[in-house]
Amino acid sequence: MENKRYDLMHRHLLMTAGELLHDIPFSKIKVKEICDAAEVNRNTFYRHFVDKYELLDELLNTSVQSIYATLDIDKFKKYPFETIKAFHFDGTIEVLEFQLQDRAFEDLFYKSIFKALSTVTTDQELLWLIGNLYVVQLWNTNRDVPYDLRQDYQILDQIVTDKQFPTS
């Protein structure tokens, strides 16, 4: 019974943090806010996670493994941003675009993706592609007017294919 309670609380904390990520940049979220939203005390949180970074790492790792299980790898290799755009689950793309503006989240996000993918595949081409996506995303977020993943995915895919950033 104790394991079931522990597992339920663990999932509850993950879900609560996931909900907070819809509206608050990761770097601004405090453990206290997660605890308040989950209606638990800090000791409960720390029984499950060392800190908010470990929680985010688990949340991202679980998501990446779930996505990988349903991913068309060949299509992803050819059209990575289009494939990412095609995922329409509970506003995840909007949350991802919002959070990728936060450097702390962005850093953890790409590290987690790479770590999770490297545990499920040894496909070097896929792992190199993930690195290239990180570079393109980093370049894009530093533009005066970044491309929007939902509308401009073809441009982003072309950058990955050509391995060259547009001059204009």
pLDDT in tens, 54-85: 999 888 888 777 777 787 888 888 998 888 77
Cα–Cα distance, 85 to 153 (Å, whole number): 7
pLDDT at residue 90, rounded to an integer: 47
Q: Domain coordinates of the chain in residue numbers?
A: 51-162
pTM of the complete model: 0.72
* Residue reference for tokens 């790792």: 61
Q: What tens digit of pLDDT does each residue of 126-167 get?
A: 888 888 888 898 898 888 998 887 789 899 999 999 999 998
Task: Give the residue from 43, 24, 62 showing the smallest Cα distance to 33.
Answer: 24
Task: Give the residue from 93, 77, 64, 72 showing the smallest Cα distance to 152.
Answer: 93
pLDDT at residue 55, rounded to an integer: 94
Cα–Cα distance, 41 to 31 (Å, whole number): 10
